[in-house]
Amino acid sequence: MYIRDVCSDDLPVLQDIEVAAGRLFHEVSMPEIANDPPPSVERLAEHQRAGLAWVVTDDETGPAGYLVADEVDGNLHIEQLSVLPSHGRRGLGRTLIARAEREAADRGLPAVTLTTFLSVPWNAPYYLRCGFEVIGRERETAGLRRIRAQEAEAGLDQWPRVCMRKAVVRA
């Protein structure tokens, strides 16, 4: 498996990955999240055009996971990270996070941020193991507050959510 930039042919595959990964939310009694539609091809293409979309793939079976990001308040913000459940627990998510960290460093950005569910095992607990820290509301930037407001409007706050941050280490 290796990381590469997303190409246009990948975009519908990313949607399939998102649907498959989303099904795991049934296991934690979050069917609303499990049944949530994937990002549109148009939205995924915006990340691709910005150079902030990567897949972990091989030459035989194609993409097994992806990460898309945005720049938010001078940090690289992980918008979505998803891995096919059949490829879970193999370090693919960590590999994608490392790619995002390198991109942040290359762009001179100080940190990588994200928002996630606090109690879902493959969400905040996973990101803590990857070196992220939970940041309190008082440390949320204006952009993160905007994202959290959009998430609340979409109904995501019926489960506890947090913002997380990881400082970028420059080589």
Instruction: Measure the CA–CA gap between 103 and 7, rounded to whole angstroms.
Output: 17
CA torsion 124-125-129-132 (nearest 10°) is: 20
Domain count, the chain: 1
Residue 140's domain spans which residues? 2-167
pLDDT band at residue 10 using 50, 70 and 90 as cut-offs:
very high
CATH number at residue 8: 3.40.630.30
Each residue's pLDDT tens digit, 103-134: 999 999 999 999 999 999 999 999 999 999 99
pLDDT band at residue 171 using 50, 70 and 90 as cut-offs:
low
pLDDT at 58: 84
Decide which of 60 and 82 is more confident: 82
72, pLDDT greater than 80: yes
